[in-house]
């Protein structure tokens, strides 16, 4: 959920992209009273989201310094890792036949598809074929992914997950190395009725270095990974993973955690913004989802303790009005709220998403093993 203005956007084909700005234009404005009150309107010119001289949260714009605009690059940078070499993509060509042949041999099933496509369109293209033949449906996107779709009534989940493990091992070769292999189970009997289930599972590359999450875990702090977080970090630095099926479910589970006494970090990814709306270029649905999140944010804010801090940010842009179906290279918002902030204000443009991890590390008194400068001393509190 970017806010535009990335200086290097043209290099990524994204000059002019602005996720929140263009969603606001498409919807005629967004009604997000909670994020507006915290200062979202001070981060850009967003129709319907007003700037405030007396914002209740401390805000900033974050510049991505890694080479990429994908999920893993953004999350890893948040926790201190600068990605210099972008992950491999096979958007234009599909995966090489050598890899496909090896995958077929090791899994015992043939493959169909093997091109870049929407996760729902690919099911209409090949879902009935899979029912007839049992062939794997494989595809990619503009992201660095190899995705395997399997009807749960035709191919058992366990077999799908095993196939993903096989693909992950094969795709460790440098010339094929993608960021993630994704299991995409679905159900349905015919074209137009196929629907993906919540049994998705990501098989990501391990982070190439130590992150702030590792520092927290090593020092005995809780690190809850809600949603895709455990997959993105391959469970490194995570003390407990919590599966979610939607944005609403992710927020409900986060609110339940906030009601309990915690000592550490709750790291949440809300996947619907990206998977359901951004990639499918649904600006109205995306806007509705932002408004729904804003309402749940109010409930979360009501349950935090005096020594808690909420940080709202994004791992990349995904402008639903942009060409193609890829993420977009943008600055991202950082909105921070605690009950006792005494001088909330806009800190302007900050270098790297690593600001987030560095601030978390200083707060808990643990090592920041990577990039990023803490802004903890700028969060003035009673």
DSSP codes of every residue in 183-201: EEEEE-SSTT--EE-S--E
Q: Which CATH architecture has domain 9-85+207-378?
A: 3-Layer(aba) Sandwich (3.40)
Count other Cβ atoms within 10 Å, centred on residue 303. Answer: 14
- Contact yes or no for 20/2 (Cβ under 8 A): yes
Mean pLDDT by 10 residues, the chain (382 residues): 96 96 97 97 96 94 95 96 91 95 98 93 97 98 92 98 97 93 96 93 93 98 97 96 96 96 95 92 97 98 95 97 93 97 96 97 98 96 80
- Ligand-binding site membership of 274 (annotated): yes
pLDDT value for 86: 84
Task: Give the alpha-carbon dihedral of 19, 38, 305, 287, to 10 degrees.
Answer: -30
d(CA 190, CA 204): 31
- Ligand-binding site membership of 326 (annotated): no
Both structure tokens of 181: 């292999």
Q: Residues spanned by CATH 3.40.720.10 within the chain?
A: 9-85+207-378
d(CA 256, CA 253): 5
Strands 201-204 and 264-268: unpaired
Both structure tokens of 92: 């234009």
d(CA 189, CA 78): 42
pLDDT value for 226: 98
Q: Residues spanned by CATH 3.30.70.1250 within the chain?
A: 97-204
Q: What does pTM read for this prediction?
A: 0.89
- Compute the chain's Rg from CA coordinates: 21
d(CA 152, CA 148): 12
What are the helix (H) ranges across 171-228?
212-218
List the one residue out of 175, 159, 154 whose CA is nearest residue 88: 175
- Ligand-binding site membership of 327 (annotated): yes
Both structure tokens of 55: 């914002």
pLDDT value for 324: 86
Q: Which CATH architecture has domain 97-204?
A: 2-Layer Sandwich (3.30)
pLDDT value for 380: 86
Residue 334: phi, psi to the nearest 5?
Answer: -130, 115
Q: What is the DSSP letter of 341?
A: B
């Amino acid at each position: 959920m970017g806010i535009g203005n990335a200086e290097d956007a043209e290099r990524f084909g994204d000059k002019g992209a602005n996720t929140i700005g263009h969603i606001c234009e498409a919807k005629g404005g967004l009604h997000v009273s909670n994020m507006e009150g915290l200062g979202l309107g001070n981060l850009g010119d967003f129709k319907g989201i007003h700037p405030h001289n007396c914002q209740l949260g401390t805000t900033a714009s974050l510049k991505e310094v890694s080479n990429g605009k994908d999920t893993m690059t953004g999350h890893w940078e948040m926790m201190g890792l600068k990605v210099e070499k972008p992950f491999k993509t096979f958007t234009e060509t599909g995966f090489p036949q050598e890899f496909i042949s090896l995958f077929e041999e090791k899994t015992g099933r043939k493959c169909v598809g093997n091109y870049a496509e929407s996760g729902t369109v690919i099911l209409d293209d090949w879902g009935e074929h899979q029912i007839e033949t049992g062939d794997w449906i494989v595809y990619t996107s503009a992201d660095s992914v190899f995705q395997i779709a399997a009807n749960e009534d035709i191919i058992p989940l366990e077999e799908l997950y095993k196939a993903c493990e096989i693909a992950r091992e094969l795709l460790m070769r440098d010339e094929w190395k993608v960021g993630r292999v994704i299991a995409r189970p679905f159900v349905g009997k015919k074209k137009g009725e196929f629907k993906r289930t919540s049994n998705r599972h990501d098989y990501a590359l391990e982070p190439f270095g130590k992150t702030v999450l590792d520092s927290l875990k090593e020092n005995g702090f809780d690190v809850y990974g809600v949603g895709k977080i455990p997959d993105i970090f391959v469970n490194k630095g995570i003390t407990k993973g919590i599966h979610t099926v939607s944005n609403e479910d992710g927020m409900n589970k986060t609110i339940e955690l906030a009601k309990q006494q915690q000592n550490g970090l709750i790291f949440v990814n809300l996947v619907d913004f990206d998977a359901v709306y951004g990639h499918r270029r649904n600006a109205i649905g995306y806007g509705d989802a932002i408004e729904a999140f804003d309402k749940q944010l109010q409930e979360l804010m009501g349950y935090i303790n005096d020594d808690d801090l909420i940080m709202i940010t994004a791992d990349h842009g995904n402008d639903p009005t942009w060409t193609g179906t890829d993420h977009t290279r943008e600055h991202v918002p950082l909105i921070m709220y605690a009950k006792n902030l005494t001088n909330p204000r806009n800190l302007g443009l900050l270098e790297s998403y690593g600001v987030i991890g560095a601030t978390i590390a200083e707060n808990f008194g643990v090592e920041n093993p990577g990039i990023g400068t803490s802004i903890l001393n700028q969060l003035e509190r009673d």
